[in-house]
Amino acid sequence: AQKITQTQPGMFVQEKEAVTLDCTYDTSDQSYGLFWYKQPSSGEMIFLIYQGSYDEQNATEGRYSLNFQKARKSANLVISASQLGDSAMYFCAMRLLSGTYKYIFGTGTRLKVLA
C-alpha cells in the first residue's frame, strides 16, 4: 500500500540555521513524484519543491533542497538559513503517475523558527 510517513510532529530551529524535515514513503510503483508543501496559519497550500522518481540529482529551489534517497525511500526537506516566515506546517506528498494523479499526504510537521 502507498504511504507517506512524517515522524516529526513538531520541530524547532533557530533563525538562520538549517533544518531537515523527514519524510519516508512506500510504494511499489516505479514512477512517482514527491512534493513538499508549506501551509501557513492562513491555510493555503504553497508548493515548495518536487522530485521525480527518475531524477538522479536532488531537487533544489532557493533555500529549499530535497534529499532524495531512493533506496531508503526517503525524501527529506532541507531548509537552509531559516527565517521567521518559515514557521508553518510542512507536508510531504507522493503523486502516483497514473492517470488520476492522486496525491497521498503525510500527517505534516509543524516547524517553529525561533528568533
Partner 1 sequence: SQTIHQWPATLVQPVGSPLSLECTVEGTSNPNLYWYRQAAGRGLQLLFYSVGIGQISSEVPQNLSASRPQDRQFILSSKKLLLSDSGFYLCAWTTGVYGYTFGSGTRLTVV
Spatial separation of the C-alpha atoms in residues 42 and 96, rounded to whole Å: 28
Determine the straight-line distance between the first and last CA of the chain, rounded to whole angstroms. Answer: 41
Pairing of strands 109-114, 10-14: parallel
- Closer CB to partner 1, 39 or 58, in the complex: 39
Residue 45 or 84 having the CB closest to partner 1: 45
- 32 touches partner 1 (CB under 8 A): no
Q: Which of 16, 18, 26, 45 binds partner 1 (CB under 8 A)?
A: 45
- Determine the Cα–Cα distance for residues 29 and 91; give it in Å rounded to an integer: 21
If one asks whether residue 108 binds partner 1 (CB under 8 A), the answer comes out as yes
- Identify residues 75-104 at the interface with partner 1 (CB under 8 A): 91, 93, 95, 99-104
For partner 1, which residue of 28, 30, 43, 72 counts as binding (CB under 8 A)? Answer: 43
> How many residues bind to partner 1 according to rule CB under 8 A?
21
Does 44 bind partner 1 (CB under 8 A)? Our answer is yes
Dump strand ranges (E) for 1-115: 3-5, 10-14, 19-21, 24-26, 32-39, 46-52, 60-61, 64-69, 74-79, 88-96, 103-105, 109-114
* Interacting residues toward partner 1 by CB under 8 A: 33, 35, 42-45, 47, 50, 91, 93, 95, 99-108
